[in-house]
Amino acid sequence: MLHVAEAARVSVATVSALINGTATVSPELSQRIEQAIRDIGYKRNAIARSLKMGTTRTIGLTVPHITNPFFTDVVSVIQQAFDRAGYAVMLCCTDEDLNTQDDQIRLLLDRMVDGLIVARVGDGAILKRIVDDANVPVVLLDRICKGIDTDAVVLDNQRAVFDAITYLINLGHRRIGYITGTSDISPMHDRMAGYREALHAAGLPIAEELIRFGNFHEIDGYNETMQMLSSHDRPSAIFSANNPMVIGTMKAIRDIGLSCPEDISVACFDDFPWSDVFQPQLTTVAQPVQAIGEQAANLLLDRLAGNRDAPPRKLLLKGRLMIRNSCRPLGAIAQSVSA
Amino acid sequence: MLHVAEAARVSVATVSALINGTATVSPELSQRIEQAIRDIGYKRNAIARSLKMGTTRTIGLTVPHITNPFFTDVVSVIQQAFDRAGYAVMLCCTDEDLNTQDDQIRLLLDRMVDGLIVARVGDGAILKRIVDDANVPVVLLDRICKGIDTDAVVLDNQRAVFDAITYLINLGHRRIGYITGTSDISPMHDRMAGYREALHAAGLPIAEELIRFGNFHEIDGYNETMQMLSSHDRPSAIFSANNPMVIGTMKAIRDIGLSCPEDISVACFDDFPWSDVFQPQLTTVAQPVQAIGEQAANLLLDRLAGNRDAPPRKLLLKGRLMIRNSCRPLGAIAQSVSA
DNA sequence: AACGCTAATCTAAACGTTTCGATCATGTCA
DNA sequence: TGACATGATCGAAACGTTTAGATTAGCGTT
């Protein structure tokens, strides 16, 4: 900018005024400056600008795993929204690890991001402290957090799983396996509540040996399914509370020599784009990823636009049960269907 | 930092020296400074630091679509690698659009990223200009670019498709449909060359009506497949040159009332994690995503570590044909197999 | 006691912007 | 003609660091 100013024989203040349109500059000087900018190939240094302005037009986004198709989609939507608004997004994947998450958030805050969208991991105490004293708007995504009272967009997880399990019950299933992630994050907690509520509403007992905890990965789904299916009193249906784990479930079913839905019915949380193309076509709970991403982006953009003091807004979106062919009717119900 | 210095009754230079370990500071002052840092809750402002140092410890990463599982995986690997190295990554999705890409790269360069990993889109002329006068190391990912002579890691696409098509030919297929993206990017060009080479090597004619161009999306795969299958002389196998389009192909096959592999064989480029769980299990060309991501990250990290003048390094990785059950033997070959 | 050496600390300039207030020419009005 | 508003331009400080070079204090030598 200094060089431009010299070349155009004006002060840097004038160059800045022209570039930002913050003051009128005469046509003559404008012309000289623009020429100089072209000649020199000048590009404004956004870092210097950020330092002076106190804003980076960059936001931080952390998710547990970008390879989980739910997060892939949401990240994609959020990225597009901020791109449109002229913001850059720094992406971090916490790998479902608390320390990684804390480090990454600190990294983002060091870099003076203007805002944060966080699908948090683990207990919120440290996150809360970090976020509190960095004075930056935060929106919680997918997972709310007890200590942190801020904007959030989440699914009505309990209701969604309630519907799914009730569907299985109505098909005649009585022993329904449930594979979940560690329940220290809200969706897992709420989904489990939906499971229990559905069984309870139908007057069915809750068999604790059918509730299995994994660590969100395919391998966990595989292991837990293997164990369940090896028991002599195996379930007739399995619901997986997340998407990567259901792949493991399907592999376990295959490896153990059973087939779905003939021998065992399967449903899971989170839809994927190819779910109605391959067999079996999985029955899933679909989240409105587009809406989730857009709402999260909008909440943050609204704060960034200056609306700092509005009370925290919590958005609760509804899931949708996508019924396909991976669950089959059982017993009397099967009879009446085939009759 | 000024506040810390005042609270500890030292100069800012001393504080800086302690924080960065660039000079020895006495135990006594160290203690006072550390105490002040804790009391005040001081965090270094990375923006100011970047301005002074001329480095942001941030890199830019642009891909066409993050929802394409190939790019999802590669992005994930790259993100992890830079995370380990203490770099942040700014992610942009160009949506396969040239102007979007140019805008985003400018955005990244404005923000003074230290380096760039680009899966480019369209013709490289503008990209070249942009990259030339920003003096930043660039590594090309998945797609090389005529004008730009820089580090790159790509697959041996021609060979990979040659192998896949040859496999189909050996199964007895003679009319093999080929669905590709616009061939102005290198992988599509090279894959097509592999297709033609394989047919040629087998002495088969090339039926131009079986070569269909889409725009990388599922819907394109759907439309092109529909057209191919509606012809009276339809192919016995279809190869899709990218992953999202094959979903469209499968949907078209389903909607038209055919089934795979009984009526039509299907194979495609890019593997996905669930490909051996659902039916049909697609035969695919798997890219070594882990290696691709790591190599790209390493090339860039090496440049960032100071190795600026080494000649451009081109890494050519090998694909792997994952044979599953979506392609069936035909004619005489089928006879001999079943005999 | 004077000297030089080392280690610890500080002063101040620099990075590239934005912006406040000052300056200055020009035209308007009484 | 003098006072004054207006519009264009500029000078300089500020944002929060890093760092080269200056300064100071402490110590061992001679």
3-class DSSP state of A68:
coil
- A177 and A154 in contact (C-beta within 8 Å)? no
Mean pLDDT (whole number) for B172-199: 95
Average pLDDT over residues B247-266: 96
Assigned token pair, A149: 């009272």
Write out the CATH class of domain B157-287+322-338. Answer: alpha beta
Q: What pLDDT does B335 receive?
A: 66
- Sequence-ordered list of residues with C-beta below 8 angstroms from that of B203, at least 6 positions apart, any chain: none
Bridge partner list, B285: B269, B321
**Cβ contact, residue pair A67, B73, below 8 Å:** yes
Q: What separation in angstroms does the CA of A185 have from each of A96, A141, A180, B192?
A: 10, 12, 11, 47
Contact B111 A88 (CB under 8 A): yes
Q: Give the closest-approach CA distance of B81 to chain A in angstroms.
A: 11
| Interface A:B, Cβ pairs < 8 A | 138
Contacts of A88 in chain B (CB under 8 A): 90, 92, 107-108, 111
Taking the C-alpha atoms of residue A22 and residue A37, their distance in angstroms, rounded to an integer, is 18
Residues 16-55 of A with CB under 7 A from strand C: 16-17, 19-20, 22, 42-45, 48-49, 51-53
Rounded to whole angstroms, the distance from the CA of residue A17 to the C1' of nucleotide C26 is: 21
B44 neighbourhood in chain A, CB within 8 Å: 110
Distance CA A246, CA A260 (A): 12
C23 C1' to A3 CA distance, Å: 24
Tokens of A266: 């399967």
Q: Tell me the pLDDT of chain B averaged across its residues.
A: 94
Judging contacts by C-beta atoms under 8 Å, the chain A residues touching residue B51 are 45, 47-48, 51
- Residue B302 buriedness (CB in 10 A; 0-12 / 13-18 / 19+): middle
DSSP string computed for A138-164:
EEEES---TT--SEEEEE-HHHHHHHH
CB A221 within 8 Å of CB A248: yes
pLDDT of residue A332: 67
| pLDDT averaged over every residue in chain A | 94
Distance CA B307, CA B281 (A): 45
B186 touches chain A (CB under 8 A): no
CA–CA separation, A32 vs A124, rounded Å? 55
Chain A residue with the nearest C-alpha to that of B57: A111
Residue A135: predicted pLDDT:
85
Question: Which residues in range 260-299 of chain A are in contact with strand C, contact meaning CB within 7 A of any of its atoms?
Answer: none
Which of B201, B134, B130, B127 has the alpha carbon at shortest distance from B161? B201
Q: Peptide bond preceding B280: is omega within 30 degrees of 0, i.e. cis? A: yes
Residue B201 confidence class, pLDDT cut points 50, 70, 90: very high
Q: CATH homologous superfamily for A56-155+289-317?
A: Response regulator (3.40.50.2300)
Tell me if B176 sits within 8 A of B254, measured CB to CB: no
Q: Which residues contact B229 (CB under 8 A, 6 or more apart)?
A: B252, B253, B256, B258, B264
Q: What angle do CA A64, A69, A75 make, to 5 degrees?
A: 65
Q: What is the pLDDT of residue B154?
A: 96
Could you please state the CATH topology (level 3) that the domain comprising B56-154+289-317 is classified under: Rossmann fold (3.40.50)
Does the beta carbon of B98 lie under 8 angstroms from any beta carbon of chain A?
Answer: no
Cα–Cα dist A12/A223, whole Å:
66
Q: How far apart are CA B28 and CA A245, in angstroms?
A: 54
A200 touches B at CB < 8 Å: no
Rounded Cα distance, A37 and A41, in Å: 6
- Are A119 and A71 in contact by the 8 Å Cβ rule? The answer is yes
Cβ-based contacts of A274 with chain B (< 8 Å)? 247, 250, 272, 274, 278
The predicted pLDDT at position A334 comes to 64
Q: Tell me if A45 and B112 make a contact (CB, 8 A cut-off).
A: yes
Please identify residues in chain B, positions 8-47, with a C-beta within 7 angstroms of any atom of strand D.
12-13, 16-17, 19-20, 22, 42-45
What integer is the mean pLDDT of B169-174?
A: 97
Shortest Cα distance, chain B CAs vs residue A30, angstroms = 22
Taking CA B197 as the corner, what is the angle to CA B222 and CA B158, rounded to the nearest 5 degrees? 70
Of B62, B69, B46, B48, which Cα lies nearest the Cα of B99?
Answer: B62
Residue B338 binned pLDDT confidence (cut-offs 50, 70, 90): low
pLDDT per residue over B40-85, tens digit each?
999 999 999 999 999 999 999 999 999 999 999 999 999 999 999 9
- At B337, the pLDDT band (50, 70, 90 cuts) reads low
Intervals of chain A under pLDDT 50 = 339
Chain B residues closer than 8 Å to A136 by CB: none
Distance CA A235, CA A167 (A): 16
Segment B232-241 shows an average pLDDT of 96
**What are the two backbone dihedrals, phi and then psi, of residue A284, each rounded to the nearest 5 degrees?**
-135, 165
Domain chopping of chain A, boundaries: 2-44, 56-155+289-317, 157-287+322-338
Nearest to B83 among A41, A92, A247 (CB): A92
Q: What is the DSSP string of B276-327?
A: TTSBS--EEEE--HHHHHHHHHHHHHHHHTT--SSPP-EEEEPPEEE--SS-
For residues B285 and B275, the answer to whether their CB atoms sit within 8 Å is no
Q: Is the pLDDT at B125 greater than 90, yes or no?
A: no
> Is A170 in CB contact (< 8 Å) with chain B?
no
Q: Do A42 and A33 meet the contact criterion of CB atoms below 8 Å apart? A: no
Does the pLDDT value for residue B339 go beyond 70? no
Interatomic separation, CA of residue B136 and C1' of nucleotide C17, rounded (Å): 21
DSSP state letter for B1: -
How many residues are there in chain A? Answer: 339
% pLDDT > 90, chain B: 86
Which positions of chain D lie under 7 Å from any protein Cβ? 7-12, 14-21
- Single out the residue of A101, A92, A245 nearest to residue A181, CA to CA: A245
